[in-house]
Amino acid sequence: MTFTKKRGPKKSVCPSEVTRDLFSDVWRNHLDEVKDVAAGMQQSKLIRITQNGKDISIDKARGPIRLSIYTSDE
């Protein structure tokens, strides 16, 4: 959630940005782990997961997704 908080409520991050920062050279090996954590955070309404600007469940997403902070006005 730190990455999404740093960006602010109207900005988003790519899961690969988070993974690269956490795991450096072996980030590709951990992308699914980061997405799993993001899914749990989405269920707890801590972050939003979007695709093409629309909320989406991570298990239905095909292709690039974005993570952003969940705000109470949404």
As a whole number, the mean pLDDT across the chain is 88
> Can you read off the two tokens belonging to residue 4?
């999404």
Whether the per-residue pLDDT at 56 is higher than 80: the answer is: yes
Domain ranges of the chain: 2-69
DSSP character at residue 4: H
d(CA 40, CA 51): 17
pLDDT for 38: 93
Task: Say yes or no: domain 2-69 is CATH 1.10.287.130.
Answer: no
Prediction pTM value: 0.83
